[in-house]
């Protein structure tokens, strides 16, 4: 008896199934919801603008930091060729050997400038940098001889690559009287440190701001759900599926996110436009060619995509908190 | 076989109060039945169970052989598309026109626009509101709003129509009009179950009456007639 009741019940359940083309129905529903969302957003233009602005501002800083980071990287890559070398002579090298080396370096075609630092000059510089330390003076007296070698600051032609510098370093190391050759990368390391700092601080700030964008969309979609509870009850009564009831709010989230992404792009464009002139002026004073890179179609696409993802995340969060149901 | 069946259905709420107590009843397809009783008698609870909005504490609610309480979240929407619901407070969407309110059940089923238009016009014509499609609910009288709610319930040509106090806010003349509409839908093949406490209105309709009191089915005119026969 129980078996026959169950089979009858199962047959009944099968009766309440979707009919017709699911894909066509799905597409039609998306078209309907897109149209409704456009209407909903346009009917609440002021509040929609505020949401877009808040999401846009939250997306602007991460976008700017991304551009700053990518430009710093490009900047350091461009400047690698101008880094230069320092050639340290052996302590036993005679003055004549130092002079011959200087002359040999100056005659090389790929070297723009050679500056000689004698052991005496090096000692004076070290004392000056130590603040004329008495302890250092006493130490020097104790060793009786100058422990510093003669050295050359070698500046290659502009545009020399890092590989060319490395080749030059190997050649000079093979010269007699040369103790060591160092590619000067201190400033590059500083630049990389700065870039790293910008990345780390930026990443932390960006995460916080992106979270705030999600929260803004969450709050807005939550309000939208609350304002449409009556409609949702009706939809549940007349047989709307859970997906059909959730869909409008996912579209709201998408609209808010995409709009925020668009606002962020506009704000970044204005900001870059404002700093371009003073930045170029600064670059000219350092005799460096600078062009702001990164604000390209791929970046714009990423900003819109990021905005959309954050919007959908905010909407999903709101729906998980207040899921429309019967 | 009965189309709607309640088998020993009881419903006890979380606060301990009794919604229904061991109610068993069978209703044939294409019939019109009135459900009557005082406020709190269990009329709305019974209707909610048939919609799938309430679950019985014990017993089974069968519709065309399906146990409604066993329908999953995937089947429930398709089941509800076969049920037209009319409520006392209409539940019309104030920001949508009469036409759009009536079209709502069709829009979620993805009918073509021209089919939606044809069927909404037909439903509005049935409730005598052909010229009010462009208006918003706030522009209509209470009786007209109730008729819009009825048009929305029947536009999908449901197999079952459940009405919870559909004449509660209407004067006697409009109430009779609404009941006449339900007779028309019954004649078209729908099974109609109307909850009402207006005994004067329903006693002369020639339909079966189920009387509930404190959650119990205390009178079923079908059984009374059988007994008198």
Among A158-162, A195-199, B37-41, B137-141, top mean pLDDT goes to B137-141
Over residues B172-196, the pLDDT tens digits come to 888 888 898 899 889 988 999 999 9
Residues A195 and A74 occupy one common structural domain: yes
Per-residue pLDDT band for A10 (boundaries 50, 70, 90) equals very low
Residues A105 and A195 occupy one common structural domain: no
DSSP tally for chain B: helices H, then strands E: 8, 10
- Do the chains contact at B76 and A231, CB–CB below 8 Å? no
Question: CATH number for the domain including A167?
Answer: 3.30.70.3040
- Do the chains contact at B93 and A230, CB–CB below 8 Å? yes
Residues A199 and A60 occupy one common structural domain: yes
Q: List the single best residue of B52, B54, B65 to mutate versus A (max A Cβ within 10 A).
A: B65
Look at residue A32 and tell me whether its pLDDT is greater than 90. no
pLDDT on residue A5? 40
Per-residue pLDDT band for A187 (boundaries 50, 70, 90) equals low
Rounded-to-integer distance, Cα B224 and Cα B226, Å: 5
Look at residue A165 and tell me whether its pLDDT is greater than 80. no
Over residues B16-75, the pLDDT tens digits come to 888 899 999 999 999 999 999 988 889 999 999 999 988 999 999 999 888 998 888 888
pLDDT on residue A317? 92
Instruction: Find the domain containing A255 and state its range.
Output: 28-78+190-321
**A242-245: which pairs have CB atoms within 8 A and are 24 or more residues apart?**
A242/A323, A242/A324, A242/A325, A242/B73, A242/B77, A244/A29, A244/B77, A244/B108, A245/A324, A245/A325
Q: Nearest to residue B207, comparing CAs of B177, B180, B229? A: B180
Among A194-203, A298-307, B8-17, top mean pLDDT goes to A298-307
What six digits make up the tokens of A33?
């919801």
* B53: closest CA of chain A, how far (Å): 7
Percentage of residues in chain A having pLDDT higher than 90: 23
Per-residue pLDDT band for B142 (boundaries 50, 70, 90) equals confident
Check CB contact of A243 with chain B, cutoff 8 Å.
Answer: no
Per-residue pLDDT band for A78 (boundaries 50, 70, 90) equals low
* B120: closest CA of chain A, how far (Å): 15
Interfacial residues of B (vs A; Cβ cutoff 8 Å): 51-53, 62-67, 70-83, 85, 91, 93, 104-105, 107-110, 152, 156
Residue with tokens 């791929």: A298
CA torsion sign for B153, B159, B164, B170 is: positive
Per-residue pLDDT band for A260 (boundaries 50, 70, 90) equals very high
| Residue burial A186-215, b: 16+ Cβ < 10 Å; e: rest | eebeebeeebeeebeebeeebeebbebbbb
- Domain C-terminal end among A125, A149, A184: A184
pLDDT on residue A12? 44
Q: B34 and B205 in contact (C-beta within 8 Å)?
A: yes
**Residue A35 belongs to a domain:** yes
Check CB contact of A244 with chain B, cutoff 8 Å.
Answer: yes
Domain count within chain A: 2
Q: Give bridge partners of residue B6 from the DSSP assignment.
A: B25, B61
**Residue A15 belongs to a domain:** no
Residues A127 and A217 occupy one common structural domain: no
Residues A155 and A198 occupy one common structural domain: no
Average pLDDT rounded to a whole number, residues A50-61: 92
Residues A136 and A216 occupy one common structural domain: no
- Domain C-terminal end among A184, A205, A224: A184
**Residue A62 belongs to a domain:** yes
pLDDT on residue A267? 95
Strands B4-12 and B18-27: antiparallel
**Nearest beta carbon to residue A230 from set B78, B91, B104:** B91
Model pTM?
0.67
Neighbouring CB atoms inside 10 A of A271's CB total 14
Look at residue A286 and tell me whether its pLDDT is greater than 80. no
Rounded-to-integer distance, Cα B71 and Cα B89, Å: 27
**Residue A120 belongs to a domain:** yes
Average pLDDT rounded to a whole number, residues A157-176: 78
pLDDT on residue A182? 86
Check CB contact of A34 with chain B, cutoff 8 Å.
Answer: no
Look at residue A119 and tell me whether its pLDDT is greater than 70. yes
Residues A275 and A294 occupy one common structural domain: yes
Return the beta strands (E) in chain A as ranges: 85-89, 111-117, 151-156, 178-183
* A55: closest CA of chain B, how far (Å): 28
Rounded-to-integer distance, Cα B128 and Cα B177, Å: 10
Over residues B97-118, the pLDDT tens digits come to 999 999 999 888 877 788 889 9
- Do the chains contact at B70 and A241, CB–CB below 8 Å? no
**Residue A12 belongs to a domain:** no
pLDDT on residue A271? 92
Per-residue pLDDT band for B14 (boundaries 50, 70, 90) equals confident
Residues A74 and A204 occupy one common structural domain: yes
Residue with tokens 């009557």: B36
Question: How many CA atoms lie within 13 Å of A155's alpha carbon, on the beta-carbon side?
Answer: 8
Residues A309 and A198 occupy one common structural domain: yes
Distance of CA B16 to the CA centre of its chain: 27
Contacts with B83 from chain A: Cβ below 8 Å: 239
**Residue A22 belongs to a domain:** no
Return the beta strands (E) in A82-121 as ranges: 85-89, 111-117
Contacts with B64 from chain A: Cβ below 8 Å: 12, 15
Residues A202 and A180 occupy one common structural domain: no
Query: What average pLDDT is seen over chain B?
Result: 88
Residues A289 and A160 occupy one common structural domain: no
pLDDT on residue B131? 92
Per-residue pLDDT band for A13 (boundaries 50, 70, 90) equals very low
Rounded-to-integer distance, Cα B184 and Cα A112, Å: 102
- Domain C-terminal end among A129, A160, A184: A184
**Residue A270 belongs to a domain:** yes
Percentage of residues in chain A having pLDDT higher than 70: 83
Average pLDDT rounded to a whole number, residues A114-141: 82
**Residue A18 belongs to a domain:** no
Over residues B148-172, the pLDDT tens digits come to 999 999 898 899 999 998 888 778 8
pLDDT on residue B128? 86
Per-residue pLDDT band for A188 (boundaries 50, 70, 90) equals low
What six digits make up the tokens of A108?
């090389």
Chain A residue closest in CA terms to B63: A12
Residues A163 and A257 occupy one common structural domain: no
pLDDT on residue A83? 63
Contacts with A15 from chain B: Cβ below 8 Å: 64, 66
């Amino acid at each position: 008896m129980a078996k026959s009741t169950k089979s009858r019940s199962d047959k009944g359940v099968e009766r309440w199934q979707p009919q017709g083309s699911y894909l066509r129905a799905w597409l039609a529903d998306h078209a309907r919801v897109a149209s409704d969302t456009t209407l909903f957003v346009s009917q609440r233009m002021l509040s929609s603008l505020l949401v877009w602005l808040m999401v846009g501002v939250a997306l602007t800083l991460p976008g700017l930091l991304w551009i700053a980071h990518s430009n710093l990287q490009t900047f350091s890559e461009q400047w690698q060729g101008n880094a230069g070398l320092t050639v340290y002579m052996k302590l036993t090298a005679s003055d004549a050997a130092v002079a011959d080396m200087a002359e040999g370096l100056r005659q090389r075609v790929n070297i723009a400038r050679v500056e000689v630092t004698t052991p005496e000059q090096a000692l004076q510089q070290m004392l000056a940098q130590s603040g004329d330390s008495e302890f250092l003076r006493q130490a020097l007296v104790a060793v009786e001889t100058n422990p510093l070698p003669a050295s050359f600051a070698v500046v290659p032609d502009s545009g020399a690559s890092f590989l060319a510098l490395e080749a030059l370093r190997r050649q000079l190391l093979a010269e007699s009287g040369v103790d060591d050759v160092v590619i000067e990368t201190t400033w590059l390391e500083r630049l990389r440190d700065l870039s790293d700092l910008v990345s780390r601080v930026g990443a932390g700030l960006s995460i916080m701001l992106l979270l705030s964008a999600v929260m803004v969309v969450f709050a807005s979609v939550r309000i939208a759900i609350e304002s449409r509870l009556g409609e949702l009850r009706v939809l549940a009564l007349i047989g709307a599926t859970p997906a059909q009831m959730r869909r409008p709010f996912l579209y709201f989230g998408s609209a808010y996110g995409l709009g925020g992404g668009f606002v962020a792009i506009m704000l970044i464009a204005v900001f870059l436009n404002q700093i371009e002139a003073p930045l170029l002026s600064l670059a000219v004073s350092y005799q460096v060619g600078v062009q702001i890179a990164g604000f390209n179609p791929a970046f714009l696409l990423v900003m819109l995509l990021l905005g959309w993802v954050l919007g959908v995340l905010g909407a999903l969060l709101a729906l998980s908190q207040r899921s429309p149901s019967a | 076989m009965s189309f709607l069946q309640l088998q020993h259905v009881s419903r006890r709420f979380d606060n301990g109060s009794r919604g229904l107590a061991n109610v068993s009843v069978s209703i044939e397809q294409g019939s019109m039945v009135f459900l009557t009783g005082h406020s709190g008698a269990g009329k709305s609870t019974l209707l909610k169970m048939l919609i799938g909005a309430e679950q019985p504490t014990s017993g089974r609610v069968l519709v065309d052989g399906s146990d409604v309480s066993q329908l999953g979240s995937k089947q429930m929407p398709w089941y509800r598309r076969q049920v037209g619901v009319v409520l006392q407070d209409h539940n019309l969407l104030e920001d949508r026109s009469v036409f759009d309110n009536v079209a709502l059940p069709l829009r979620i089923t993805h009918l073509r626009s021209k089919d939606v238009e044809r069927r909404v016009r037909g439903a509005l014509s049935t409730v005598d509101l052909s010229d009010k499609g462009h208006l918003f609910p706030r522009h209509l009288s209470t009786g007209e709003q109730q008729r819009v709610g009825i048009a929305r319930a029947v536009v999908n040509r449901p197999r079952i129509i459940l009405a919870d106090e559909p004449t509660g806010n209407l004067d006697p003349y409009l109430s009779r009009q609404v009941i006449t509409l339900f007779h028309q839908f019954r004649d078209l093949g729908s099974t109609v179950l109307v909850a009402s406490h207006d005994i004067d209105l329903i006693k002369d309709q020639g339909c079966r009456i189920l009387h509930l009191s404190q959650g119990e089915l205390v009178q079923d005119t079908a059984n009374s007639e059988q007994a008198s026969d």
